[in-house]
Amino acid sequence: MLIIGAVLMCLCHLTFALVPEAYFTRGVAYTAIIILGISFSLVPAALWPSVPKLVENRYLGSAYSVIFWIQNMGLWAFPLLIGVVLDRTNQGVTNPLEYDYTVPMLIFASLGVLAFFLGIWLRNEDRTRGYGLELPNINKIK
């Protein structure tokens, strides 16, 4: 699910960055946003339940707090980064409705590429170490 979510995230942001304006309709925009929502649902649905399988129980609370800390640092840093990128790529543009958002969308797509490779790495780690990340969390009692 993590790999699929990362690919969908890349497709969405690349659609916003690279589809020419002549072909960019409401249908394309709505479809891309729906795909982004699906990807944003798949990635946490794969990552959060995997934490107890990867971390010892005595460190579980700390692991979740580190995840929240990293997430909040990203929520702080990326708006600043995108603001700087927009300022540098749209010099002389005074109307925000006329900004070119290609570079910020490519930055977000590159994060999807990074997530894709991290998903592949995590899958390989699961195969070699046997964490059971693709196994169900609850065993049915017969």
pTM: 0.84
Residue 134 has pLDDT above 90, yes or no: no
- Nearest Cα neighbor of 111 from 66, 65, 74 is 74
Name the phi and psi angles at 137, rounded to 5: -75, -30
Residue 126 has pLDDT above 70, yes or no: yes
Average per-residue pLDDT for the chain:
91
Q: Give Cα separations from 39 to 42, 78, 129 (angstroms).
A: 5, 19, 27
The DSSP call for residue 19 is S
Question: With bands split at pLDDT 50, 70 and 90, how would you rate the model's confidence at 95?
Answer: very high
Spatial neighbors of 52 by CB under 8 A, at least 6 apart, are: 60, 137
The C-alpha atoms of residue 93 and residue 66 are separated, in whole angstroms, by 39
